[in-house]
Amino acid sequence: MRARVLFAAAAALVTVSCATSGGSSSSGLRPKSRNQDVIAETEISASASEAANALQIIEKLRPQMLRSRGLGSPTDVSGESARPKVYVDNVAYGDVGTLSNVTASQIREIQFINSRDATTKWGTGHMGGVILVIMKR
């Protein structure tokens, strides 16, 4: 008896969770128009007149990429380890300040990589995530 009740409850849950709104806009929710973790070349080019380097581009288009993400470690009172690190073409480049050395016209894309994915890709020490700058070839 108990198994039947659990099965019925699970089936009802699956049915409800699989239901969709059918694309109706009556909910008032809009789909995201852009990925908040990526700045594409088209956006970079469009902002080139107002932003000369990677830091200015991020400050203008995705300032949330620059914020610290909590405490990095109990011994890090400055919060330095919770700030994003910068990689250019998958090579460690420095802290957020070094983004001002990367010329906007040479950038193809800028990505924010969360701490979990950054640790998987580059190893430990990325509690604040990574800002990955991909250069034009």
What does the pLDDT read at residue 16? 45
Question: Which neighbouring-strand residues pair with 88?
Answer: 91, 133
| Domains present along the chain, CATH in parentheses | 35-71+79-137 (2.170.130.10)
Q: 95 vs 20, 48, 100, CA distance in Å? A: 43, 22, 10
| Count of CB atoms situated within 10 Å of the CB of 4 | 8
Residue 40, C-beta contacts closer than 8 angstroms, at least 6 positions apart: 109
pLDDT score of 69: 72
pLDDT at residue 12 is higher than 90: no
**pLDDT (0 to 100) of residue 9:** 54
What percent of the chain has pLDDT above 70?
Answer: 66
Average pLDDT over residues 69-98: 78
Whole-angstrom distance, CA of residue 96 vs CA of residue 58:
10
Confidence band (pLDDT; 50, 70, 90) for 126?
A: very high
The model's pTM is 0.70
Are 88 and 80 a contacting pair, CB within 8 Å? no
- Each residue's pLDDT tens digit, 23-77: 444 444 444 456 899 999 999 999 989 999 999 999 999 999 999 876 555 555 5
63 token code pair? 């300032």
What does the pLDDT read at residue 50? 93
